[in-house]
Structure 1
């Protein structure tokens, strides 16, 4: 399956500390997630990583037994390639002898 880097925002009902910890434990157990952010005040959960968005939402729903609503799915930009090794990159132009 083709996994791409995504950042996804979910809406969940986070009523109490128990709910928060249940969601947090479920997120920490998921190997495909690189990072997560739980916003208790607004009831939002943001996750980033290489995954299929619908599959992650279903897993969270099953593990927490809570309704999950996908608000936004963004494809994350891949990291920039490292600079090429060697030389200054300008080919010696502007060098005075």
Structure 2
């Protein structure tokens, strides 16, 4: 059974230049299992949403960007939530 739970996962990554940002962005866009992503360059955070295996996604991002990836937070996203989350908009 290859069912994957929907998650919202926050990662800490070193994003110290535009090249790093672009590399991370390209890697995230290539991953079909991710529905949405948010890259916070200022705080070195990457948030991803989708139905995926958290460990697999963290390893994939690590391999594709050649950067250390630390999982800060992982929460289950409810599939019935309205677009943008419970408050109806993305921050």
**Structure-2 residue corresponding to 1:15:** 16
Q: How far, CA to CA, are the matches of 1:23 and 1:40 in structure 2?
A: 10
**Structure-1 residue corresponding to 2:74:** 73
**Structure-1 residue corresponding to 2:38:** 37
Which of structures 1 and 2 has the bigger CA Rg? 1
Displacement over 2 Å in runs of 4+: none
Secondary structure in 2 matching 1:49: strand
The Cα RMSD (Å) is: 0.8
Between the two proteins, the alignment pairs up a number of residues equal to 80
Secondary structure in 2 matching 1:8: strand
Q: TM-score, normalised by structure 1?
A: 0.80
Note the residue ranges of structure 2 that are not aligned, 5 or more in a row: 82-91
Note the residue ranges of structure 1 that are not aligned, 5 or more in a row: 81-97
